[in-house]
Amino acid sequence: MALVTFRDETATGRALAEFSLPDLPERISARELVRLRVREEVARHNAAPSHHYRGLVRPIDAEADLNGYRLRTARRLDWEKQADAAEAAFLRNGFLLLVGDRQILDLDVEIDLLTDPVVSFVKLVPLVGG
């Protein structure tokens, strides 16, 4: 079993937030890893719902906030909807997925978590102007 650290980073590599999960399988697909991360962050939010959600993707009816998303009402979130949104965001380059020092380009890639136990998510922000 593997201990994995999930880290949110800026495009320059500065860590914004991180958490670790123990007892993960030694090998897992990138898709399962993204969904696992989202399930965990939604579970943490749902344990004490608030107006603020700190997660990988924006929930429906939420606005971007300095360190996450502001919900109109404090409520529980559906982790599967959030995980589906995260997969869609990955496919449209909404964030980069880095495992160790390599970028993952395909959600079906299998990852060895014993070799690379740090998984970084870099949210990409569209530039304003044109």
pLDDT of residue 52: 94
What is the DSSP pairing of strand 118-123 with strand 2-9?
parallel
- Structure-model confidence comparison of residues 20 and 128, the more confident one: 20
Q: What values do phi and psi take at 81, rounded to 5?
A: -65, -40
* pLDDT, mean over the chain: 91
Q: Is 33 helix (H, G, I), strand (E, B) or coil?
A: helix
Rounded to an integer, what distance in angstroms lies between the CA atom of residue 70 and that of residue 77?
13
What pLDDT, on the 0 to 100 scale, is given for residue 90?
Answer: 96
What residues does each domain of the chain span? Answer: 2-123
**Whose CA is closest to 3, among 18, 29, 22?**
22
pTM (global) more than 0.95: no
Task: Give me the pLDDT at residue 126, please.
Answer: 54
74-104 pLDDT per residue, tens: 999 999 999 999 999 999 999 999 998 899 9
Mean pLDDT, rounded, for 7-17: 88
What was the pLDDT predicted at 100? 87
Q: pLDDT at position 128, please?
A: 44
Residue 43 one-letter amino acid? A
